[in-house]
Amino acid sequence: MKSPFVIRTFRVLGLFAAMTLAVTLPAFAQKSYRVQDSWKVGGEGGWDYLTADSAANRLYITHGGRVEVLDATTGKSIGAITGLKGTHGVALDDARKYGYISDGGANAVVVFDRSSLQTVTSIPAGTNPDGIVYEPVTKTVWAFNGRSSNVTVIDTAAQKVIATVPLPGKPEFPVADGKGFIFDNIEDKSEIVRLDAKDPKVTATWSVSPCESPSGLAIDRAGRRLFAVCDEKKMAVVDADTGKVIATPAIGNGPDAAAYDPKTNLAFSSNGEGTVTIVDASTSDYKVLQNLATQQGARTMALDRTTGKIYVVTAQFGPRPAATAANPRPRPAIVPDTFAVIVAGND
């Protein structure tokens, strides 16, 4: 019969082992992601950002002059917002009432009713509004204008512009921290800016070197980490309070979107080469867990935080035209009616 001391010792060791297992379990027990489905959308034209509405089980996809609205479980079309000129992103308010589309071709933000999918109004913005985000503390929408290097701030109660904030360069994707601050990549300066939503202005500018030309951006709100995906196959993990780059895990080539799942502590980069890089953000070494094969051109992405599924979009491409002085880097033609959504998950 063991002494009380020995019994207590074994109990302590057992508790310590259980705690250690609980801490390390997510990284080691994480199932690999796999492509689960492919949904044909069809149509013509290019595309940009996707937005997952977990509460309504919807997926919004900007697609040329329209926004496709799909059932996020089946991929079936729910409808579309049409009559637009060149869509980039969709932001959703927290009242589940309105959506906001950055229509870069019209230099406007188009407001639509999420129940009927009907356009409510069009609000003038800067030149080529691109990345767009809803800020929940001030209940404002921020449209980042790619060619005029500024951001248009919209009051969602009045549906009108309340501020225009200059930026130090070409903005890319923005995120909100839920505490009244917004972060945005400045692509041509390899920087991230922090903006105060309560007093609209830039309050910090941080270099993300050695991360060049940051495009997609995601945030871990609780852990105060930003994930910027960049050229040269790098993701910059940035302290959201100090701006310090704390890690640069390797990702695939040609990234354009990032995501973070707070349930699994995973960060994602969707890459134009046809991969999604999955990074373990639960430890300080930010280990790459997987490079999931998708399809060439699938460089924009959305994460459904309820189901954990990730969605990327692409199409088939024709031959690339010959380079000219006017267009030294021509894009290959998109084969009509091949636009599709690729769904991945780990369940």
The 3-state secondary structure of 34-47, one letter per residue = EEEEEEECCCCCCE
pLDDT the model gives residue 18: 42
Which H helix or E strand runs over 266? strand 266-271
pLDDT the model gives residue 29: 53
pLDDT the model gives residue 30: 66
Sheet-wide strand order for 87-92: 87-92, 98-103, 108-113, 119-124
- Hunting for tokens 């230099």 — which residue is that? 107
- pLDDT band of residue 28 (cuts 50, 70, 90) is very low
- Residue 226 in contact with residue 238, Cβ under 8 Å? yes
**132, pLDDT greater than 90:** yes
Letter for the amino acid at 21? Answer: L
- Residue 153 in contact with residue 163, Cβ under 8 Å? yes
- Residue 218 in contact with residue 269, Cβ under 8 Å? no
Residue 244: Cβ within 10 Å count? 10
Q: What is each CA distance from 306 to 54, 57, 73, 239, in whole angstroms? A: 6, 9, 12, 26
* Helix, strand or coil, per DSSP, at residue 310: strand
pLDDT in tens, 75-105: 999 999 999 999 999 999 999 999 999 999 9
- Residue 161 in contact with residue 179, Cβ under 8 Å? no
- Residue 276 in contact with residue 344, Cβ under 8 Å? yes
- Residue 135 in contact with residue 178, Cβ under 8 Å? no
pLDDT the model gives residue 257: 98
pLDDT the model gives residue 143: 98
Q: Which of 333, 293, 291, 292 is nearest to 315 (CA)?
A: 333
N- to C-terminal Cα distance for the chain?
A: 46
d(CA 94, CA 210): 36
pLDDT in tens, 258-285: 999 999 999 999 999 999 999 999 999 9
pLDDT the model gives residue 31: 85
pTM for the full model? 0.90
Write down the mean pLDDT value for the chain. 92
Q: Which of 79, 75, 70, 103 is nearest to 89 (CA)?
A: 103
Lowest-confidence pick of 136-145, 166-175, 330-339: 330-339
